[in-house]
Amino acid sequence: MRRAVFPGSFDPITLGHYDIIERSLTLFDEIILAIGVNSEKKYMFSLDERKHFIEEAFKNEPKIKVMTYRGLTVEFCKKQNANFILRGLRNPGDFEFEKAIAHTNRQMSDIETVFLLTSSGKSYISSSIVRDVIRNGGDVSKLVPETVLVK
């Protein structure tokens, strides 16, 4: 079975994330959307809210599981018997950052990182931009799945 873990804080999930997830469904038998928990980080949305947004967005997709984890992503992958880490790339800066992480993960395990480029119409979207728009009372309806708008 080709099982991938797509890790992230998903604070909140964006249409960029959604794009990568939808397009990766043909590549993997199962995708675990793994919400990383970092007690040092200040989140806009609670862990339960973030998990709910994702579960609702993909409630009709049996190939997707939503889980939370703490610690190293490669250790989580091993526990889930996942041989792949899925990552989305929006720009060259993302590539340089993600490449270093992928090389480190590869040194620690035999888990491969698979990169997908975000569709051109979604490449400008980031969770930090979405949070900023929300904080300032802007309309995020073209940036996030409908499940985030219900908040």
Positions marked catalytic: 17, 41, 90, 127
Distance CA(65)–CA(33), nearest Å, equals: 6
Residues 6+ apart with CB under 8 A from 83: 2, 3, 4, 77, 110, 111, 112
Distance CA(132)–CA(115), nearest Å, equals: 26
Give the type of residue at 61.
Answer: E
Give the type of residue at 127.
Answer: S
Using alpha carbons only, what angle is made at residue 127 by residues 88 and 43, rounded to the nearest 5 degrees? 120
